[in-house]
């Protein structure tokens, strides 16, 4: 059997447009999978889902500088374009869109999309105040560049999914945002490009994050009080060596704080540092 060939990679808007024009002329639908690369099984699940949704699949790979604060890991973020393109070769991806920062943000660039609503829920935004404007701006640009019919986003970044869904509706972007469930390692740890930062010892402790969410969800579903359950969960994580940014119960759609199970469908969300690595996770109750 011949080896599947790698998808073509576009680095300029001109090359991107040439391919997209061909798809559109043939009346084909397009799904976009936005990523920052360092692809893992979570990303590949988004791609497989995209393939079922649309005739053509474009995967963007761009480590977006504007969503990192100066003290964050922009310069050390893993960049593995060749491996990423190879990993996509068996999945029927039609194009990889890999612009440079200069193509994305040419000289004179001066516009930001600043989301509100779910972007101000007091979760990631409380610890990464620059983050969602960076995400909303780059995702708007990707939507403008690719003009996809569908765009796949992982529930792993639950608040981001809510922000992008809101933005697409508010700005009439005519793209259907498709949520994709979290892909986990066997021991429950959510797959993440940042897991490579974990030492062996940290990696062994990291699944406590998911275990804690499961334990809290079970108690809350069993009518135990929410605040006390989360306080105990936080304490447990701290005892495991995590520095907890938040462990919260929120309304699964609005992300509004929730004090009672009657307030609506509940999503538990957590962010915590183990050593210098910050991990996030979430779970439905």
Residues annotated as catalytic (active site), given as ranges: 43
Rule CB under 6 A: say whether 148 interacts with ligand AMP: no
Rule CB under 6 A: say whether 42 interacts with ligand AMP: yes
Rule CB under 6 A: say whether 207 interacts with ligand AMP: no
| Token couple for 15 | 């090359």
Return d(Cα 39, Cα 9) in angstroms, integer: 15
Rule CB under 6 A: say whether 156 interacts with ligand AMP: yes
Query: Starting at the edge strand that comes first in sequence, how are the strands of the sheet with 56-61 ordered?
Result: 9-10, 95-97, 56-61, 30-35, 150-154, 176-180
Return d(Cα 8, Cα 97) in angstroms, integer: 9
Q: Which of residues 224-263 bind ligand AMP (CB under 6 A)?
A: none
Query: Which residues have C-beta within 8 Å of that of residue 59, sequence separation ≥ 6?
Result: 7, 32, 33, 35, 43, 47, 88, 93, 95, 96, 97
Rule CB under 6 A: say whether 192 interacts with ligand AMP: yes
Contacting residue, 119, 173, 175, 183, with ligand AMP by CB under 6 A? 183
Smallest separation, CB 224 to ligand AMP (Å): 28
Smaller CB distance to ligand AMP: residue 36 or 255? Answer: 36
Smaller CB distance to ligand AMP: residue 189 or 230? Answer: 189
Smaller CB distance to ligand AMP: residue 36 or 226? Answer: 36
Contacting residue, 16, 31, 36, 272, with ligand AMP by CB under 6 A? 36
Smaller CB distance to ligand AMP: residue 97 or 219? Answer: 97
| Piece of the chain touching ligand AMP by CB under 6 A; list 69-77, 86-94, 154-162, 201-209 | 154-162
Smaller CB distance to ligand AMP: residue 190 or 226? Answer: 190
Contacting residue, 46, 54, 59, 280, with ligand AMP by CB under 6 A? 46
Smaller CB distance to ligand AMP: residue 131 or 242? Answer: 131
Contacting residue, 10, 190, 226, 279, with ligand AMP by CB under 6 A? 190
Cα–Cα distances in Å, from 179 out to 11, 33, 134? 27, 11, 20
Cα–Cα distances in Å, from 146 out to 15, 31, 133? 12, 9, 20
Contacting residue, 97, 153, 197, 242, with ligand AMP by CB under 6 A? 153
Which residues of this chain interact with ligand AMP, rule CB under 6 A?
A: 35-36, 42-43, 45-46, 153-154, 156-157, 180, 182-183, 190-193
């Amino acid at each position: 059997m011949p080896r599947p060939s790698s998808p073509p990679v576009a680095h300029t808007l001109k090359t991107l447009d040439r391919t997209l024009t061909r798809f559109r002329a043939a009346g084909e639908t397009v799904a976009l999978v936005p990523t920052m690369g360092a692809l893992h099984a979570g990303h590949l699940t988004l791609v497989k889902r995209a393939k079922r949704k649309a005739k053509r699949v474009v995967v963007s790979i761009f480590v977006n500088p504007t969503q990192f604060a100066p003290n964050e890991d922009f310069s050390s973020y893993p960049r593995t374009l060749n491996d990423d393109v190879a990993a996509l070769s068996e999945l029927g991806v039609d194009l990889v869109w890999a612009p440079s920062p200069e193509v994305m943000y040419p000289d004179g660039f001066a516009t930001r999309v600043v989301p509100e609503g779910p972007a101000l829920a007091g979760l990631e935004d409380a610890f990464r105040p620059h983050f969602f404007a960076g995400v909303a701006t780059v995702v708007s640009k990707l939507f403008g560049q690719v003009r996809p019919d569908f765009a796949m986003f992982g529930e792993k970044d639950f608040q981001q999914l809510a922000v992008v869904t809101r933005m697409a509706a508010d700005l009439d972007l005519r793209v259907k945002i498709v949520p994709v469930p979290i892909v986990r390692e066997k021991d429950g740890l959510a797959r993440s490009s940042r897991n490579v930062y974990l030492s062996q010892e940290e990696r062994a402790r990291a699944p406590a994050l998911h275990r804690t969410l499961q334990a809290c969800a079970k108690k809350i579903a069993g009518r135990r009080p929410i605040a006390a359950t989360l306080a105990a969960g936080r304490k447990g994580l701290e005892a495991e060596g995590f520095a907890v940014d938040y462990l919260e119960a929120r309304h699964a759609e609005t992300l509004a704080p929730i004090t009672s199970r009657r307030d609506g469908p509940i999503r538990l969300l957590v962010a915590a540092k183990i050593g210098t690595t910050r991990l996030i996770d979430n779970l439905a109750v």
